[in-house]
Each structure stands twice: as C-alpha cells, then as structure tokens.
Amino acid sequence: MKYIKLLGHSLLAISLFFTIPGCKKYLEEYNPGSRTDENYYVTKAGFEDLVKSNYSNLRGIINNGGLYFQGTDILSTYGINDVSALNLYNTSLNSSIGDVDNYWRQLYSAINIANTTLYWATKVEGVDIGSLATRISEAKTLRAYYYFLLAETFGDAPLLTERTTEPVRVFVRTPEQEIYTQIIKDLMEAIPGLSPTTPEFGRVTKGVAQHLLAKVYLTRGYKSYGGGNADFQLAATQAEAVIAGPYALKAKYVDLFDASIANFQINSEVIFSVQYSINAQSNGGGNNLQQYFLWDPQITPILGRSSLYGKPNYTAAPTPYYFTLFDKARDSRYLASFHNVLFAQVAGTSGGNNFAVGDTFVYYPDIPFTAAEKAAKKYFVTNPNEYRISPFVANVRSHPQLKKFRDPGLPYQDGGGFRDTYVFRLAETHLIAAEAYLQSNNLTKALEQYNKVRERAAKPGNNPATGVPYTTEMRVTALTLDNILEERARELLGEELRWFELKRTGKLISRVLAYNDEAKAANTLKPFHLLRPIPQVQLDLNRGPFPQNTGY
C-alpha cells in the first residue's frame, strides 16, 4: 500500500493522507513509502503515482449505500420498523447526519487530489505529450464526476479548480448552474485526450467521459436553467458515441455476475468499474456491496452463518414493490439476481420439522400458494404478498436473497469483499439514450435503445405457450418515463445510484410515496428533500456567509 501526502484546507476537511489501491491485474504501482517530498511529483514515476491516487477515492464514494439506496421506490431498510432518516425523510434527516458529512468530505478530498494532479501536470518532467494529455484527461473526468455527484446531492457548493495547500476559512456557494458549466467543460476537454481502450483495466477511457457527459446533459435537460430538448439531443449523441465504441452487451445477463467465469468482471459491457484487490493489505476496507439487499440468515440456525447466503450490513432491502416489476416467465434477470429457494445449511429442526443439509428450507413461489398448499410442505413458503413478514422473527423482511454481488469464498463475517463494482456499463448507456430520445420526442429511437436491453434480458428459446421467442415477447411498442425507471430497476439494482435517477426525472416524491411503504406511512417527504443538508460542521468552520439548504 502506498501513501501520498496532500495538504488540505479546514472547511472542506481534505484529508492529509490518501491511500492508493494495489489493484489486482490492473494498475501496477510503485510504493514510495511515507514520502512527503512534493518534488517527487515532478518526476515521471511520482506523477504517475499521483494520477493513480485519484482512483482510490472512488471506493468510499461509491460505497455510500445509505445515500443512494434508502428512501427510494425500490429500496427501503432492513427492518420494518427501522427509523432511518434517509428512508423516512423525517426531522432526523438534518445537517448533523453522518452520511452527508462523510460524503461531503469524501467528494472534496477527491476533488483536491484531482486539482493537485492537474497542478503537477504543469510541472512534471519526462512525460511525453500524448501520455500527459491522457493523464490530465483522467483527472478532469474524475473531477467532473465528483462535481456531478456533489451538485446533485447539495446543489450550490464551493467550486474549486485549483489545489488547496493552505487553510482557507471563507468559502462561498457557487450556483449549481456554474458547477454544471465546469463539469461539461472538463469532460469536453478530456474526451480528445482519452483513448477508447486502455491496457490497464480500470483507468478512465474515452467511453467513461462520454457516458458521463451523456448523463450530465440528460440531467441538465430537466433543470430550469438547462437546455431542454437541446440537452436531451446532446445526451443522445454522446450515448450513441459510446454505443458505437468498443463495447458490446454480454450475450447473457447472468454472465456479468457469475463469479465461476474466469475474469468475469473484465468484459465487453463494462465501461468503468471501481477496483478492489484480493490482497487484504491493499484492499482498504474492501467492498461491502455483497452485504446489501439481504435479510440475515443467522436468525434461523438451519441457515446459520453461511457464505452462500451472506451476512447483511442492514443498509437497504428491496421493497415489496420491487419484486412486482419482473415478468418472471420471460425475464432471465430475476433468477440471475435472486435465490428463490434457500437450502438448509445445517441439519436441525424448525417449525416441528426435521431438515437435512441441502433440503429446501424457504421457498419464494412466483404464484402464491394457498393455505392448504403451504400446510402440505415442511419447508417455509413465503408468498409475494408476504415479503414484509418473516416466518422467523418479527419486524424483519423476508424476501428472495440477492445473489448478484456474491463474493464466493468470502468468510461470513468479512465485509471486505474484493469484487469490483460496476459504475458504468453499456446497458445503462442504452437506457440513457432511450430516455434522451424519449424526452426529445423521438419515440422510434427511444424504443430501439430500450428494446436492446429488454431483448438481452429475455430467457433463451421460445415461449412454449405461444411458440414465439422470448426476445420477441420482451419487446415493447410504447414507452414512458416510468417504464424506463422500471427497466433501470430490473437491470441495475445496486449499480445505479437510484436516488439520483428519481431526482433527475422529477419522480422522487411521487414514486417514493407510492411504493416505499415506510416513507409513505411517515408522509414527511417534501420538495426540499431533493437536496441533502449541508453538513453542520462545514457551516461552523466557515467564517463567511454560507447558507444552509432550504428546509434544514
């Protein structure tokens, strides 16, 4: 593991040290130890290490599950009576909440490293012009991504494009519109300097910047200061450029997540992913995504502690509504993503019945069992309308266990997974294009892009009842914004940052109150919740006027 010392300022709480990942088979790195001499960055080796340091920040940023997943239409909390402020939007969602404070710090820490990289790009010696342009473009793309997340989370925020080396006590909030202008500028300048492919998987490429720019234009198109139809057309153009690039949808959805396939995460569909390592010393805190969207099998000794079914971190769980989105007869993604049968891991007795290892213990049928059918089985049957009712313990959900992010062989108690996290992949690019075309009134093109994702998701072969290929039956001829959000949910659970998708489309309030039972019951979600509160510690450290977001 290597460390690079970067100086920071007090208000934005830039950390003094940043860990650089030792990413398996991707970014080969030199360890400079505890070097503090900034003259190192003027050398080719030092500058390359500094560029690589930009990537480690992505781990903490992407792993912020509460902010992304809770309080949405398809994701709630683990417990029925959980009082998470991020899910309920109650008065506990305020400027003192740790999630938003950590997120603010992480984003500005990452921005400062990008700014420092761009500064030393003007000083470094011995780097050829082409390589230097690429490294500058990597830093600008990542800075654009961080500012995009920052603006969508907090709105107006300090816009810093120079490195910070001394404490600064006064900051002002730059209007969100100006931040978007800088984001687009960074990406437009970065794209020409990036190559379509890279020999080091995990680095920013042209496709990463284009995909991000497509999403930025798409998001700005909905805003009052945005370009409307013009932005939607620009989004479609950028998305089409990615689709025309060196990417292709995998033939089968399941192959994106099947860890039995060698190097399954390095594939034609992945545009950008956050890297982790099998080396615990260079894996930081590891990836805990495999712990999301589960209920705890340990609540029953027949399942117990099992690496097969995992250990939840209680961050988020699918809402009952989420499971209604699948056409289980035609769509392969449901069984590719979830266990609909849980098998006994330990021999024992439960509910008056004996179970041997390997026996069916819990079954989630697609078609509800009658009371008589359930009584005839020794195993537990949980019907689709019972996903909020655990047969084992009160106030805990029972639903099919997510297997999409399983980390095989990872010890039960270990949250530090080493699977990578997909940030951008081509299926999302198709859905961005579909949304952009829909919003610019080009239904033909929108359907073309949307149906590419639907067709890939289809089960193989023909429907025995009709003789028609499932790919044909999965195509649609009409399309709405809600259809696209539902398709994103089926395709990208745990990959897309769902809160941002609902916010962008103006659907956060309506869909959360319609489909998130806990948020609906609380009924405290208001328009001001479309922004998160500025962390109180940042307000307290500032010595100038720095207003809080309305409502907090």
Q: Which two tokens stand for residue 544?
A: 């100038």
pLDDT band at residue 37, thresholds of 50, 70 and 90? low
Amino acid, single-letter form, for residue 89: Y
**What tens digit of pLDDT does each residue of 380-433 get?**
999 999 998 888 888 888 999 999 999 887 876 667 888 999 999 999 999 999
Q: Are 162 and 113 in contact (CB under 8 A)?
A: no
Long-range contacts of 193-197, Cβ-Cβ distance < 8 Å, separation of 24 or more: 193/133, 193/134, 193/136, 193/137, 194/134, 194/137, 194/138, 194/141, 195/134, 196/245, 196/246, 197/246
Q: Residue 544: its pLDDT value, please? A: 87
Q: Are 518 and 82 in contact (CB under 8 A)?
A: yes
Those residues whose C-beta lies under 8 Å from the C-beta of residue 236, and which sit 6 or more positions away, are 214, 433, 436, 437, 440, 442, 445
Instruction: Count the Cβ atoms, other than its own, within 10 Å of residue 3.
Output: 17
CATH topology of domain 2-286+533-541: 1.25.40
Percent of the chain with pLDDT over 70: 93
pLDDT band at residue 48, thresholds of 50, 70 and 90? very high
Q: Dihedral of the CA atoms 550, 514, 99, 114 (nearest 10)? A: -80
Helix residue spans in 285-406 (DSSP H)? 320-323, 333-337, 371-375
Helix residue spans in 244-283 (DSSP H)? none
**What tens digit of pLDDT does each residue of 109-147 get?**
999 999 999 999 999 999 999 999 999 999 999 999 999
Is residue 17 pLDDT above 90, yes or no?
no
Q: Which residue has the higher pLDDT, 28 or 64?
A: 64
Least confident of 157-171, 229-243, 346-360, 510-524: 157-171
Q: Where in the chain is the domain with CATH 1.25.40.390?
A: 2-286+533-541
Q: Residue 13: its pLDDT value, please? A: 35
Cα–Cα distances (Å) from 430 to 317, 450, 494, in that order, read 26, 6, 18
In angstroms, the CA 129 to CA 137 distance is 12
Helix (H) or strand (E) segment spanning residue 241: helix 229-243
State the chain's mean pLDDT as an integer. 90
Q: Which two tokens stand for residue 119?
A: 């500064």
For residue 325, the 8-state DSSP code is T
In angstroms, the CA 247 to CA 424 distance is 12
Is residue 5 pLDDT above 80, yes or no?
no
Is residue 18 pLDDT above 50, yes or no?
no
Is residue 438 pLDDT above 50, yes or no?
yes
For residue 41, the 8-state DSSP code is G
User: Considering the entire predicted model, what is its pTM?
Assistant: 0.93
**What tens digit of pLDDT does each residue of 340-356 get?**
999 999 999 999 999 99
Sign for the pseudo-dihedral over CA of 514, 222, 434, 456: negative
In angstroms, the CA 405 to CA 387 distance is 21
Q: Which two tokens stand for residue 36?
A: 């503090």
Q: Are 390 and 398 in contact (CB under 8 A)?
A: yes
Q: Which residue has the higher pLDDT, 242 or 398?
A: 242
Q: Which two tokens stand for residue 396?
A: 């805990």
Least confident of 11-20, 112-121, 252-261, 453-462: 11-20
Least confident of 153-157, 250-254, 265-269, 306-310: 306-310
pLDDT band at residue 35, thresholds of 50, 70 and 90? low
Q: Residue 427: its pLDDT value, please? A: 98
In angstroms, the CA 333 to CA 488 distance is 12
**What tens digit of pLDDT does each residue of 67-78 get?**
999 999 999 998
Region 300-307: mean pLDDT is 88
